[in-house]
Amino acid sequence: MLDTIGTLARLGLAAVWLISGAIKLADPGQTFIAVKAYDVLPQELIRPVATALPLVELVLGLLLLFGLATRWVATVALVLLAVLVAGIAQSWARGLSIDCGCFGGGGQVAAGQTAYPQEILRDTGFALLAVWLLVRPRTLFSVDGWLGWGRQRTTDDTSAGPGSSAPLANRASIAEGKE
């Protein structure tokens, strides 16, 4: 059951990053406007951040989709989400009227058109998915599982399938029917 929950968390977070990154990559000009609207970066860093952000999101999404280096990716995702929540919170605290640009768009909006509490809650929910994967990266249908990463290895495990937690030498014995 926990592996199923982890799989749903992994695939859900993958979808978030893939959708967000694809939308930003499709409209780099709008992504630039969104990053600039936060008014926290020096002018010379706005373009590199606006260029890198969708690429980082897509890489995180693909790694999560395939379940490769899940714990590491969850850590990076959690840090990125913390930065995004901090950016939204500082914009709210400073009285800026911006759309976060988390899923495209972004930039200045009319006073009263902000959705800071909803954006922070949404991103906090995504962060909880990352925390789950950080604590328990084991999921179904993952490259990590196929490689045996993130699993406790014991000598008495008799499972030899992909993602088995049996030691590699033990897997060979099992595959040959010597167990």
| Residue pLDDT, tens place only, 71-110 | 999 999 999 999 999 999 999 999 999 999 999 999 999 9
Domain range spanning residue 83?
2-141
- Are 84 and 131 contained in the same domain? yes
Q: What is the pTM of this model?
A: 0.81
Q: What angle do CA 47, 86, 129 make, to 5 degrees?
A: 100
110 shares a domain with 160? no
Based on the fold, state whether residues 133 and 164 are members of the same structural domain.
Answer: no
pLDDT at position 148, please?
A: 83
Same-domain pairing of 154 and 134 = no
What CA–CA distance (Å, rounded) separates 167 from 148? Answer: 9
pLDDT value of position 151 = 59
97 and 175 within one domain: no
Domain co-membership, 70 together with 54: yes
State the total domains in the chain: 2
Which pLDDT score is estimated for 175? Answer: 40
Query: Do 12 and 33 reside in the same domain of the chain?
Result: yes
Clarify whether residues 175 and 118 are in a common domain. no
CA distance 60 to 85: 18
d(CA 148, CA 100): 39
Residue numbers in the chain where pLDDT is lower than 70: 150-179
* Predicted local distance difference test score (pLDDT) of residue 149: 76
Residue 101's pLDDT is what?
A: 95
**Tell me, what's the pLDDT at 120?**
98
Q: Both tokens of residue 117? A: 């509490």
Tokens coding 97:
């009227």
Residue 14 shares a structural domain with residue 94 = yes
